[in-house]
Amino acid sequence: MNRTVVIVFAVFLLAACNNYKNSAKRIPVAEVGKVILYYDEMPQLIQNGTNKSDSIALIQNYINKWAKRELLLQKAENNLSPELRIEISKQLEETRTNLVIYQYQRQMMLERMDTVISEAELENYYSKNENSFILHSNIVKALFIKLPVETPDLDKIKILARSNDQTDMQQLESYCYQFAEKFDDFNEKWVSMDRLSVELQEDIENEESFLKRNTFFEKDDTNSVYLVSIRDYRLRYSLAPFEFVRDDIKRIIWNTRRLEFIQALENGIYNEALKENSFKIY
C-alpha cells in the first residue's frame, strides 16, 4: 500500500508541475473500495515555493482525511438498519424538494417581484403603524470627543463643541483632527445611550434624568478628557423617530411583499394545474 501511495504522489506532483488539471484524462490519486479520488477533485494545496517534502505531507494529509471519511461512510451505509435507510431517504428527498422550491421562488422574485420601495411608502407605513415603533431604550443624537489631558486650547474646544454653528463645527473638526484620540458624530444618526456609555467607559445612572439635565457633559481621568454634546434625544416608551426605524420599516415591507409574492406564485401554479387538469383529487 505504501508503495502505491508513493507512486500516486509522484504522479500527482508531476501533474501539478505540468498543469495537467485541465487535461481530458483524469488522474486517479487514491481509491477506497470502488470510489476513486481524482486529482481534479482536490483543492489547490501546493503553493509556489513549497518544497517537495512539505508538498507530499500536505497531499498525504488530505488523502488520509478523505479516506477516513469515505471508509466511515461506506461502513455506515453497509451497517445501517433498513428503517434508518428509509428515514435518510425521506430526509434527503425533503431537503432536495425544499432546495429546488427555494431556488425557483428566488429566481421568480428576481425576475418579477417589485423591489422598489418609495420614501412615501415608508412614511405612510410609519404613520399608520406608530404603535409598533415605541422605543425600548433612550436614544440620542450626539457628538463625542476624546482628547489627551494636555491638549492645547482645551477650553476653546469645549466652547466649540457646545455650538451648533457650522463655522464653529468646522473649526472644531480642525482642532480634533490635530489632537483628538476620537471624534465621532455617529454620522449624525440616532444611537442608543448604551453606545455613549461604552465611549465614556462608565454606566450612566438614571439616563432619563441625565438627558433632561444635560446638553453638554464632560469627564476626565488621568490621561483623557471626554466631551459629549447632546444635540437631541428621545426617551424610552416614546415614539421612535422615523429615521431611526426607517431601515426596519423597509425590511418589513420587503418581507411582506416577498410572502405575498410567494403566496400568489403558489396559488397561480395551483389554479393553472386545475384548469389544465394536471391536478386531481380522488
Candidates 219, 223, 241; CA nearest to 232 is 241
pLDDT tens-digit profile, the chain (282 residues)? 444 444 455 455 545 555 444 545 888 888 998 899 888 888 776 666 667 777 788 888 889 999 999 999 999 989 999 999 999 999 999 999 999 999 999 999 999 999 999 999 999 999 999 999 999 999 999 999 999 999 999 999 999 999 989 999 999 999 999 999 999 999 999 999 999 999 998 888 899 999 999 999 999 999 999 999 999 999 999 999 999 999 999 999 999 999 999 999 999 999 999 898 888 777
Candidates 253, 261, 200; CA nearest to 225 is 200
pTM: 0.73
CB within 8 Å of 230: residues ≥ 6 apart: 140, 141, 142, 211, 214, 215, 216, 217
Q: Which residues pair with 216 in a beta bridge?
A: 229
C-alpha dist (Å) from residue 99 to 34, 174, 226, 257: 29, 55, 53, 21
Candidates 196, 149, 145; CA nearest to 174 is 145
Q: Which three cell numbers stand for residue 158?
A: 469645549
